[in-house]
Amino acid sequence: MRAIQSSAFKVLAVLIFIGVVAAGMISLQRSHVESSATAVENVYDYYNIIDSASVEKKSADELFSLYRKSGVTSLAVYDETPEKLVNHDYLRIYRGSEFAFRNPTAQGISDSKIYIQPVLNTEGNAYFKETKEYLSLLMSSDDVRSFDVNGVETLEVNAVYNKFMQMELGIYAETVKNAASHGFYVVLRPGNEAHVTKDYVDLFLKKLDASDRVSAVIFQGKEVLGYKEYVNYLSHELSRRHIPIALIEAQNQLGFEKQSGNIDMALSSDYQVVRLYAMSKDELIKLDPKEAASRYYISDIERNIRMNLFPSFKFPLNGMTLSETNASYIADVSSRLEGHGFTVGKASVMESYFPSSLLRSIAMAGALSLVVMTALLLFPPLGRYVWVLEILGLAVTQGLFWGLHSLMVLQLLALGAAVCTPVVVVSLFLNYCLKRKDKAFAEIGWGKLFVESLLILWISGLLSLAGAAFVSGLLGDIRFLLEMQIFRGVKLTFVLPLLLISIVYIQKFPFFGQTVSSDKDFVRFVKKFCSVQIRLGLLVGLGLLAVVGYVFIGRSGNNGAPVPGFEIALRRFLENVMYARPREKEFLFGHPAVLLAMTALYRKWPQILHYFLIVAVTIGQGSMVETFAHMRSPYVLSFIRGLDGLAAGSLSMIAALIGVMILVRLTRFFGERYGKL
Query: What is the per-residue DSSP string for 234-250?
Result: HHHHHHHTT-PEEEEBP
Q: Do 447 and 591 fall into the same domain?
A: yes
Q: Which DSSP string do the residues of 25-42 spell out, in sequence order?
A: HHHHHHHHHHHT--EEEE
Count the neighbouring beta carbons within 10 Å of the beta carbon of residue 189: 21
Q: Which of 652, 284, 621, 587 is nearest to 460 (CA)?
A: 621
d(CA 307, CA 284): 17
Task: Give residue-wise pLDDT tens across range 141-193.
Answer: 999 999 999 999 999 999 999 999 999 999 999 999 999 999 999 999 999 99
Which residues, listed in sequence order, are joined to residue 76 by a DSSP beta bridge?
45, 187
Q: Which of 481, 459, 480 is nearest to 624 (CA)?
A: 459
Alpha-carbon distance values, 415 to 418, 486, 493 (Å): 5, 11, 7
Sorted by sequence, the CB contacts under 8 Å of residue 363 that are 6+ apart come out as: 19, 22, 23, 26, 470, 473, 474
What sign does the CA torsion over 393, 399, 401, 407 have?
Answer: negative
Q: 251 in the Ramachandran plot: left (φ > 0), alpha (ψ -120 to 50) or beta?
A: alpha
Three-state secondary-structure class, residue 92:
strand
Q: Do 24 and 165 fall into the same domain?
A: no
> What is the amino acid identity at position 196?
V
Q: Are 313 and 326 in contact (CB under 8 A)?
A: yes
CA neighbours closer than 13 Å in the CB half-sphere of residue 608 = 6
Among candidate residues 134, 169, 204, the one where a domain is terminated: 169
Count the neighbouring beta carbons within 10 Å of the beta carbon of residue 133: 17
DSSP letter (8 states) at residue 588: I
CA neighbours closer than 13 Å in the CB half-sphere of residue 569 = 3
Alpha-helix residue ranges (DSSP H) falling in 437-554 = 441-474, 478-481, 490-508, 519-530, 536-549
Task: Give residue-wise pLDDT tens across range 332-377.
Answer: 999 999 999 999 999 999 999 999 999 999 999 999 999 999 999 9
Alpha-carbon distance values, 146 to 84, 87, 118, 120, 155 (Å): 21, 23, 13, 17, 5
d(CA 174, CA 210): 8
Q: Do 491 and 616 fall into the same domain?
A: yes
Q: With respect to residue 272, please indicate whether it lies within any of the assigned structural domains.
A: no
d(CA 540, CA 547): 11
Helix (H) or strand (E) holding 153: strand 152-157
* pLDDT for residue 541: 46
Q: Are 194 and 165 in contact (CB under 8 A)?
A: no
Q: Do 27 and 144 fall into the same domain?
A: no
pLDDT lower than 70: segments of the chain: 1-2, 440-442, 512-513, 518-519, 529, 531-566, 668-677
Q: Are 277 and 249 in contact (CB under 8 A)?
A: yes
Q: With respect to residue 292, please indicate whether it lies within any of the assigned structural domains.
A: no
Q: Do 17 and 164 fall into the same domain?
A: no
Sorted by sequence, the CB contacts under 8 Å of residue 537 that are 6+ apart come out as: none
Alpha-carbon distance values, 278 to 215, 284, 299 (Å): 17, 10, 10
Q: Do 30 and 85 fall into the same domain?
A: no
Which residues, listed in sequence order, are joined to residue 117 by a DSSP beta bridge?
92
* pLDDT for residue 670: 45
* pLDDT for residue 563: 64
Count the neighbouring beta carbons within 10 Å of the beta carbon of residue 236: 14
Q: Do 450 and 564 fall into the same domain?
A: yes
Q: With respect to residue 632, please indicate whether it lies within any of the assigned structural domains.
A: yes
Q: Do 164 and 24 fall into the same domain?
A: no
Q: Are 515 and 508 in contact (CB under 8 A)?
A: yes
d(CA 520, CA 523): 5
* pLDDT for residue 252: 79
What sign does the CA torsion over 59, 62, 67, 73 have?
Answer: positive
d(CA 457, CA 594): 7
d(CA 666, CA 373): 44
Three-state secondary-structure class, residue 377:
helix
Largest CA distance in the chain: 116
Burial 540-558 (b: 16+ CB within 10 A, else e): eeeeeeeebeeebeeebee
Among candidate residues 146, 169, 192, the one where a domain is terminated: 169
Among candidate residues 126, 151, 169, the one where a domain is terminated: 169
Alpha-carbon distance values, 416 to 80, 278, 409, 620 (Å): 51, 34, 10, 18
Which residues, listed in sequence order, are joined to residue 490 by a DSSP beta bridge?
none
Q: Are 550 and 588 in contact (CB under 8 A)?
A: no
Radius of gyration of the chain measured on its C-alpha atoms: 32
Burial 78-114 (b: 16+ CB within 10 A, else e): bbbbbebbbebebbbbbebeebbeebeeeeebeeebb
d(CA 417, CA 75): 44
Q: Do 7 and 106 fall into the same domain?
A: no
Q: Do 416 and 519 fall into the same domain?
A: yes
Q: How far is CA 294 from the centre of its chain?
A: 15
Three-state secondary-structure class, residue 80:
strand
Q: Do 384 and 480 fall into the same domain?
A: yes
Q: Are 262 and 245 in contact (CB under 8 A)?
A: yes
Q: Which of 602, 627, 628 is nearest to 613 (CA)?
A: 602
> What is the amino acid identity at position 424?
V
d(CA 408, CA 405): 9
Q: With respect to residue 323, please indicate whether it lies within any of the assigned structural domains.
A: no
d(CA 143, CA 438): 94
Q: Are 196 and 226 in contact (CB under 8 A)?
A: yes
What domain count does the chain have?
2
Q: With respect to residue 161, please indicate whether it lies within any of the assigned structural domains.
A: yes
Q: Which DSSP string do the residues of 247-288 spell out, in sequence order?
A: EEBPTTSSSB---BTHHHHHHHTTS-EEEEEE--HHHHTTS-
Look up the CATH number of the domain holding residue 107: 3.30.200
d(CA 486, CA 339): 30
End-to-end Cα separation, the chain, in angstroms: 47
Q: With respect to residue 43, please indicate whether it lies within any of the assigned structural domains.
A: no
Three-state secondary-structure class, residue 515:
coil
Q: Can the peptide bond before residue 228 be classed as cis, meaning omega within 30 degrees of 0?
A: yes
**Domain residues for 118?**
81-169
Q: With respect to residue 179, please indicate whether it lies within any of the assigned structural domains.
A: no
DSSP letter (8 states) at residue 181: T
Q: With respect to residue 261, please indicate whether it lies within any of the assigned structural domains.
A: no
Q: Do 14 and 156 fall into the same domain?
A: no
Three-state secondary-structure class, residue 147:
strand
Q: Are 186 and 180 in contact (CB under 8 A)?
A: yes
Q: Which of 221, 240, 215 is nearest to 74 (CA)?
A: 215
Helix (H) or strand (E) holding 324: helix 322-339
